[in-house]
Amino acid sequence: MNQPNMIPLVDLKAQYFGLKEEIDKAISDCIVEGNFIKGKIVTEFENAFSQYLGADYCVGCGNGTDALELILKSLNIGPGDEVIVPALTWIATAEAVNNVGAEPVFVDIDQNNYTIDIRKIEEKITKKTKAIILVHLYGCPADLEEIIRIAKKYGLFIVEDCAQAHGAEYFGKKIGTYGIASAFSFFPSKNLGAFGDGGAIVTNNQELANSARMISNHGQLHTRHSHLVIGRNSRLDSIQASILKAKLPYLDKWNRNRIEASQHYISRLEGMGSIILPRVEQNKTHVYHLFVIRSQKREKLIEVLNKSNISCSIHYPKPLPFLDAYNYKKHKLEDFPIAVKITNEILSIPIFPEITDSQVDTICDHILKIHKTF
Ligand SMILES: Cc1ncc(COP(=O)(O)O)c(C=O)c1O
């Protein structure tokens, strides 16, 4: 629980109280209707979300990790196949590949935008490579134009991991609509978050949408008790869908607030040599799921921010290839020099749509004070 004067990394209560009536009504309507699994509200949310993104199909599922797994299964990716994954992301991106029996192949990240380094993808492509999963990390769109070129050249699928980038845009078009399919997470702290786990697959490919829906519902598609394939259970609950449907109309406004808060941070902190700020790149709308700065004195910064009741966190402390789970790959630090360097410097500082100018100023004052003593 947040302490009274604390500035949290994310303030979920502030968002709830801003929309309390609408959310409470959505939940109670859902309870009164009594259709908790596969209720009509799930379809309504799926339609609203695909329309918002400009995509043809949306299939709700249990969480973002399942969304990735359902996409890979629907693409028939499995044992013997390889999938390219960035070295810096949440483990779910790679886990999904392992969990369908395929092998994640890690690629280092770009030192400016922290998404997959487009110059290092081709050297990792083999005859076994079937897909590239790109991650729009922290809310920043990956370098899609070049990734699309590479994928076309080698006949690979592009799967977008959009768990951190609801509403972000690339050349004015929403991310999540560039690849064969995209995976969204509605984990509570995401830019569009539920009150528990939730996820979705978004695609323009009808066959893939049907396949993902079928696998996620025990192999049934249109007819109950007609199990066409061996599937599993990964569905979006009606209560979560009702909350997401109530929140969706506010997503763009919340993203604008995040962008404004980020601009405020940047205007206060730019020009300080020892702090590296997120880059604003052309033709991309970064939606700042996280506001990540870099400092070579990160540990001191953490100590001072914590003492001043300001939350901060590291996303993520280790590149995926160096997590114990991936020891079996026997990677060396020099295989991923940028991810290694960056994970020693990154720090996420508070960002959420309701953050006030005065909270941002307080955080900047502390950072500037520390900077002067460096
Ligand atoms: C980049 C990325 N991919 C996938 C996921 C998985 O989403 P979920 O927690 O809903 O399974 C997350 C969640 O944090 C994420 O940040």
Check whether residue 161 and residue 302 sit in a common domain.
no
In a domain, 81, yes or no: yes
Q: What are phi and psi of 182, to 5 degrees?
A: -135, 155
**CATH number, domain containing residue 147:** 3.40.640.10
> Domain range spanning residue 360?
251-373
What CATH number has the domain bearing residue 303? 3.90.1150.10
Which residue has its alpha carbon closest to ligand 1 atom 12? Answer: 163
Domain assignment present for residue 7? The answer is no
Neighbour order of strands in the sheet with 57-61? 57-61, 199-203, 181-185, 157-161, 129-135, 82-86, 103-107
Question: Of 249, 272, 304, which one is at a domain's C-terminal end?
Answer: 249
Q: Which of 185, 236, 287, 288 to mutate to test the pocket of ligand 1 (most atoms within 8 A of CB)?
A: 185
Let me know whether 117 and 236 are in one domain. Answer: yes
Distance 186 CA to ligand 1 centre (A): 8
| Statement to judge: residues 48 and 140 lie in one domain | yes
Same domain, yes or no: 192 and 281: no
What confidence score (pLDDT) does residue 203 get? 98
Segment-wise mean pLDDT, segments of 10 residues, the chain, 374 residues: 79 96 97 92 98 98 98 98 98 98 98 98 98 98 98 98 98 98 98 98 98 97 93 97 98 98 96 88 97 94 95 98 98 98 98 98 92 63
Query: What pLDDT is recorded for position 318?
Result: 98
For residue 118, is it within any domain? yes
**Domain shared by 222 and 283, yes or no:** no
Angle at CA 323, nearest 5°, toward 84 and 131? Answer: 10
The pTM of the whole model exceeds 0.85: yes
User: Per the domain annotation, does 2 fall within a domain?
Assistant: no
Distance 124 CA to ligand 1 centre (A): 24
Strand order in the sheet with 284-285: 173-174, 169-170, 284-285
Specify the pLDDT at position 3: 62
Q: State which of 90, 137, 244, 292 you would mutate to test the pocket of ligand 1, scoring each by most atoms of that ligand within 8 A of its C-beta.
A: 90
Give the C-alpha separation, 349 to 337, whole Å.
24
Longest dimension (CA), the chain: 69
Handedness of CA 94, 97, 100, 101 (dihedral sign): negative
Q: Are residues 215 and 97 in the same domain?
A: yes
Question: Which of 89, 114, 187, 195, when mutated, tests ligand 1's pocket best, judged by the most ligand atoms within 8 Å of its CB?
Answer: 187
CA of 230 to the centre of ligand 1 (A): 25
CA distance 293 to 284: 19
For residues 191 and 287, the answer to whether their CB atoms sit within 8 Å is: yes
Q: How many angstroms does the Cα of residue 272 sit away from the middle of ligand 1?
A: 32
Q: Which two tokens stand for residue 309?
A: 């009741």
352 within ligand 1 shell (Cβ under 6 A) = no
pLDDT at 322: 98
Q: How far is the CA of 63 from the centre of ligand 1 (A)?
A: 8
Torsion of CA 154, 127, 179, 222, to 10 degrees: 130
Atom nearest to 199 CA in ligand 1? 10
Q: Exposed, middle or buried by CB within 10 Å (0-12, 13-18, 19+), for 211? A: buried
The predicted structure's pLDDT at residue 225:
94
Residue ending a domain, among 218, 249, 280, is: 249
Identify the domain boundary among 249, 269, 288.
249
Instruction: Provide the domain count of the chain.
Output: 2
Q: Is the C-beta atom of 343 inside 6 A of ligand 1?
A: no
Cβ of 90 closer than 6 Å to ligand 1, yes or no, is yes
**Pocket of ligand 1 contains residue 63 by CB under 6 Å:** yes
- Alpha carbon of 204 to ligand 1 centroid (Å): 22
Q: How far is the centre of ligand 1, averaged over its atoms, from the C-alpha of 225 (Å)?
A: 31
